[in-house]
């Protein structure tokens, strides 16, 4: 693929954040003074290769999202938000449905991975331009056990295990086909790569930053605040 390929980003932010246990839906919870979804949208917008950022927000939060944009800086790449669905996969599909026709690649990103760095996004897009499909992932740190009924069955070689992150970048037609097949087969994947793998397409892995974690539990907010404070010290 050539350098002139147009890349859209879909930021899924339509979850409720039940495990996060905050007053607001997770995407709207403030981290260092800005809602998580804005951190994610800004990081993707900062990537030169990304030409358009499509947010997906819960239907009942669309007006809250519009209101928060009024207080944000200029985001010329940002498209109007669309309503998500009951599960993450439905929200991704809602975003895919409204992408500009001239975009050949799509980078799907979780708003909950608010600490993603533009440099890592640019790296995974570069690989996807060349290979067609690539995700950020980090090598697993813990020793893994395969367990059944409370007993260890085996200790697989940790070196071959990576924890998937986002963004995950695919050709738009490929990801649409993967989602259509998942719907047809009644499959629920925990990420987009799993759906693309089902097509028999090879997905490449690009090393992501350890701090590109998904804010899931309340204590993750404290950790994320600390990481951002350290980053601004260094800047
Ligand atoms: N997501 C979404 N639509 C859904 C469910 C999830 O867009 N129906 C998004 C979330 O907003 C989040 C990302 O998918 O950015 C990853 O999901 P997760 O971390 O599980 O967030 P929530 O589903 O909001 O949290 P929880 O599962 O604790 O309720
Ligand atoms: Mg969830």
CATH code of residue 55? 3.90.550.10
Kindly state if the Cβ of 87 falls inside 6 Å of ligand 1. yes
Number of other residues whose CB lies within 10 A of the CB of residue 145: 11
Tell me, what's the pLDDT at 3? 58
> 36: closest CA among 12, 19, 8?
12
pTM of the predicted model, to two decimals? 0.97
Q: Which atom of ligand 1 is found nearest the CA of 56?
A: 7
How do residues 164-209 score in pLDDT, each as one tens digit? 999 999 999 999 999 999 999 999 999 999 999 999 999 999 999 9
The proportion of the chain whose per-residue pLDDT surpasses 90, expressed as a percent, equals 95
Quick check: is 1 in a domain? no
**Ligand 1 contacts CB of residue 91 (under 6 A):** yes
Domains in the chain: how many in total?
1
pLDDT of residue 1: 45
Which residue in 88, 20, 8 sits closest to 47, CA to CA?
8
Residue 204 lies in a domain: yes
Measured in Å, residue 4 CA sits from the centre of ligand 1 at: 32
Statement: residue 224 has pLDDT above 50: yes
Is the shortest distance between the CB of 16 and ligand 1 below 6 Å?
Answer: yes
Reading the block at residue 40, the tokens are 């994610």
d(C-alpha 118, C-alpha 40), whole Å: 10
Asked if residue 71 has pLDDT above 90, the reply is no
CA 26 to ligand 1: nearest atom? 24
In a domain, 2, yes or no: no
Q: Is 139 helix (H, G, I), strand (E, B) or coil?
A: strand
Q: Give the residue, out of 15, 24, 107, with the most ligand 1 atoms within 8 A of its beta carbon, to mutate for a pocket test.
A: 15
Cα of 234 from ligand 1 centre, angstroms: 31
Share of the chain above pLDDT 70, in %: 98
pLDDT bracket for residue 159 (50, 70, 90): very high
Distance CA 175, CA 108 (A): 10
What average pLDDT does range 17-43 have in this prediction? 98
> What is the per-residue pLDDT across 86-105, written as a single tens digit (0 to 9) for each?
999 999 999 999 999 999 99
d(CA 18, CA 16): 6
Residue 135 lies inside a defined structural domain of this protein: yes
Domain membership flag for residue 52: yes
Say how far apart CA 209 and CA 136 lie, in whole Å. 8
pLDDT at 235: 67
49: in domain = yes
User: Does any ligand 1 atom lie closer than 6 A to the CB of residue 35?
Assistant: no
- Determine whether the shortest distance from the Cβ of 17 to ligand 1 is under 6 A: yes
Q: Is the CB of 61 under 6 A from ligand 1?
A: no
Average pLDDT rounded to a whole number, residues 6-25: 98
Ramachandran category for residue 132: left, alpha or beta (phi over 0 → left; psi -120 to 50 → alpha): left
212's tokens: 């590109």
Q: Is 190 in the pocket of ligand 1 (CB under 6 A)?
A: no
Least confident interval from 65-74, 195-204, 215-224: 65-74
- Please tell me whether residue 101 adopts helix, strand or coil conformation: coil
Res. 123 pLDDT band, cuts 50 70 90: very high
Range of the domain at 204: 7-234
Point out the ligand 1 atom lying closest to the alpha carbon of residue 215.
Answer: 19
Tell me whether residue 192 is in a domain: yes
Q: Which atom of ligand 1 is nearest to the CA of 216?
A: 19
Q: Is the pLDDT of residue 22 over 70?
A: yes
Phi (first) and psi of residue 56, to 5 degrees: -125, 120
Burial of 172 by CB count in 10 Å (0-12 exposed, 13-18 middle, 19+ buried)?
A: buried
């Amino acid at each position: 693929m050539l350098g002139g390929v147009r890349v859209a980003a879909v930021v899924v932010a339509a979850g409720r954040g039940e495990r996060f246990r905050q007053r607001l839906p997770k995407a709207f919870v403030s981290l260092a003074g800005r809602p998580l979804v804005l951190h994610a949208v800004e990081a993707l917008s900062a990537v030169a290769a990304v030409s358009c950022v499509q947010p997906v927000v819960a239907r009942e939060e669309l007006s809250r999202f519009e209101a928060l944009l009024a207080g944000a800086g200029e985001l010329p790449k940002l498209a109007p938000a669309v309503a998500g669905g009951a599960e993450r996969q439905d929200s991704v599909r809602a975003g895919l449905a409204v992408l500009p026709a001239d975009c050949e690649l799509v980078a799907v990103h979780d708003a909950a991975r608010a600490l993603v760095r533009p440099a890592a996004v640019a790296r995974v897009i570069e690989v996807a331009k060349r290979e067609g499909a690539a995700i950020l992932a980090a090598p697993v740190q813990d020793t893994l056990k395969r367990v059944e009924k409370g007993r260890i069955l085996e200790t697989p070689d940790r070196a071959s295990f990576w924890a998937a992150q986002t963004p995950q970048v695919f050709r738009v037609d490929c990801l649409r086909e993967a989602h259509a097949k998942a719907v047809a087969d009644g499959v629920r994947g925990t990420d987009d790569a799993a759906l693309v793998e089902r097509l028999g397409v090879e997905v490449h892995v690009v090393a992501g930053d350890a701090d590109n974690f998904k804010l899931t539990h309340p204590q993750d907010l404290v950790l994320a605040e600390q990481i951002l404070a350290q980053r601004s010290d260094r800047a």
